[in-house]
Amino acid sequence: MKRLYIIGMMIVALLLPTVTQAADAKTTSEVCWREGISSYEAKNYSEAVKCFEQIVELGYGSADVYYNLANSYFKLGETLYKEGGRKFSGGELGRAVLNYHRALRENPAMEDARYNLELAVDYTNDTEPLPTSFIETLWRGARDVASSNSWAVGSLVMLGLMLGMVILYLLSSNIMMRKVGFFVALLLFVGFIFTAAFALSSRRVFVDDNRAVVVCNDTTPVHASPESESKIIRQPSQGVTLRVLREYGEWSEILFADGEKGWIRTSKIEEI
């Protein structure tokens, strides 16, 4: 018994620093959040950026944190321009686009982030994406109304209600109630199929997301091969979104929205 007590105390002693550190990090992130919001409202955008970046570093990044971080970067780039500098000369636009994307990754239904992302992209030289079919566009639009977790919860609710209607159909002696149970269960089954499909599709997009954003201060060259001496085929500006196909040394093969491929230095992009 005494040995078990000693072992238990040793485990508590080992875990206590981790729990304390986690509590301290959470407290610090809450303080940073308040300071970040206050700095943003006071138009001290550089300080707001520091506060929201610290929250991300502490591991408490969320849709709201990324959204406010993106807004702070965008406003910072505009403020420096008004003060006599060049607009987004420090790469603020690229960081804004990157964090708008991260906010939408966490919460696809965040319309403010989607709207601000579209405004930010207008400042880049990003290309038009390849056209998609009407069915694919409709599917993506419906899927992105909510996150994968929300769709998963919805599918479980649908399943539970459907089982309740099946029980009503099987056990009720009233003909009308049996009909109601049957048809409602049928509708709920269709709803379950769609919500489960949206959850799986949204999760797969999240897991397989290989997008990245150009985060240089102005423009950066894209080469035909992973060599500095090779032909430059394009010079995307900061904020251009692309897909990473593979990496080779300090280079990444990328795919632009219009279908063109090339090689860019990995240091010039950051994964969403």
Main-chain phi, psi angles of 210, to 5 degrees? -115, 25
Radius of gyration over every alpha carbon of the chain, rounded to an integer in angstroms: 25
Lowest mean pLDDT among 8-22, 163-177, 219-233: 8-22
Report the C-alpha gap between 48 and 67 in whole angstroms. Answer: 12
Per-residue DSSP letter, 130? P
Quickly state the pLDDT bin for 128 (edges 50, 70, 90).
confident
Report the C-alpha gap between 214 and 262 in whole angstroms. Answer: 13
CB atoms within 10 A of CB 202: 22
State which of 11-15, 53-57, 132-136 shows the largest mean pLDDT: 53-57
Report the C-alpha gap between 249 and 271 in whole angstroms. Answer: 17
Checking if the pLDDT of 28 tops 70, the result is: yes
Average pLDDT, stretch 82-99?
A: 90
Quickly state the pLDDT bin for 5 (edges 50, 70, 90).
low
Checking if the pLDDT of 12 tops 90, the result is: no
For β-strands 251-255 and 222-223, DSSP reports them as: unpaired
Q: What global pTM score does this model have?
A: 0.78
For β-strands 232-234 and 269-271, DSSP reports them as: unpaired
Higher-scoring residue by pLDDT: 7, 102: 102
What pLDDT sits at residue 160?
95
Report the C-alpha gap between 256 and 213 in whole angstroms. Answer: 11
